[in-house]
Amino acid sequence: MLLTADSETYPRVLIYDSDVGLAWIDTPTAPLSVFDRLSPQTPTSDLDSDDYGAWHISTLFQPSEFADTLLVSSDDVAFYVQAGTLTVLSQNGFAALLPATPATQPSFFPVVRVEQTAAVLDVVLHALYGLALMPNPPGLSTLSAAIDALLVQYAIHTAPVLGPATPLFDVLLAHAQLTPFEIYVLAAKHNLIELAIASSAYLLSFPLNALSEADAERIGPIYLRKLFFQHMGRICALQRLLLVLPAPHLAVPSCRVADVEALESAWMLAAAYLNLQARPDHTPESLQATLGPLLVKVWCKACRTALQTRIDALIAEWGTIKRTI
């Protein structure tokens, strides 16, 4: 669709700003305004009032010397973009909506309607342009819809927009601290392994026994298996660590056989308690809180030293156990 306008009929541009709301800008002072780029060959009488009159213009993606295409969201917000930036990462020419090789200095530019809302399209364009989404990140539903659009509808290559350290990856990881399961589901849906690995670190306390069938289906068999193996792997690793008793010390007159047996019994009792909990999310503090009180019950100084050495070693080894899928 080609649009035209003249400054007498449309003398001003309506700008939408999230801080101040709607504002009008006189076209003579608007740099490279829409009227500079529209075809002079099409009479303004041919335009539908719905095509342009009600549009708001994105506060970030505004007219510039690089813009050659106008995207319009489903809720009538216009985004000035460079077609090449959108198509270079797309495997389907941005859903075949944009020309593969636009003119370098067009006298007019295409206006393309897309099905995404302005909020979703804004995230899509931020990702394609590599722009930061912080410090006010979009909501999870908006991010999810944007990722669906990027990877499914527009067939965007994953690594440049969703690889580690990209702005979109960072904002998703920020959400993972509060809603790790939803981020993990999103990662599983699109096979985003790096995001799944990063978000799984926040799922150590997730109760797998409470996982519903619906949630299991959302994750899918591959990533559900990874999550179970993550939990079971850490639990089994802790069990192996707890099997190692405090090292015996050299015989001393003040330490009886009964004292050594009491120490071993206390250790095994504490180990049984930790194994019964079967928690993959134990922290150094929680392990110290369970094993530390054993020191109070040991009278032999050498036994206490051996016990403390074993506790310290166990906590250090526990810190090396893999925390992600």
Q: What is the pLDDT of residue 287?
A: 97
Q: What is the pLDDT of residue 63?
A: 87
- Reading phi first (left if > 0) and then psi (alpha if -120 to 50, else beta), residue 19 is in alpha
Q: What is the pLDDT of residue 222?
A: 98
Compute the CA torsion angle 282, 285, 290, 294 (nearest 10 deg): 140
Higher-confidence position of 284 and 1: 284
Q: Per-residue pLDDT averaged across 275-281, rounded?
A: 93
Could you tell me the pTM of the whole model? Answer: 0.80
Evaluate if residue 29 carries a pLDDT over 90.
no
pLDDT in tens, 127-170: 999 999 988 899 999 999 999 999 999 999 999 999 999 999 99
Evaluate if residue 202 carries a pLDDT over 70.
yes
Q: Per-residue pLDDT averaged across 64-88, rounded?
A: 92
Q: Per-residue pLDDT averaged across 293-301, rounded?
A: 89
Query: What confidence category does residue 98 fall into, taking pLDDT thresholds of 50, 70 and 90?
Result: confident
Q: Per-residue pLDDT averaged across 68-93, rounded?
A: 93
Q: Out of 72-86, 106-120, 142-156, 278-292, which region has the weakest mean confidence (pLDDT)?
A: 106-120
Give long-range contacts, CB 8 A cutoff, 24+ apart: 30-37: 30/63, 31/63, 31/64, 32/63, 32/64, 32/65, 32/67, 33/63, 34/3, 34/5, 34/63, 34/70, 34/78, 35/5, 35/6, 35/7, 35/10, 36/63, 37/63, 37/67, 37/106, 37/108, 37/109
Q: Per-residue pLDDT averaged across 209-218, rounded?
A: 95
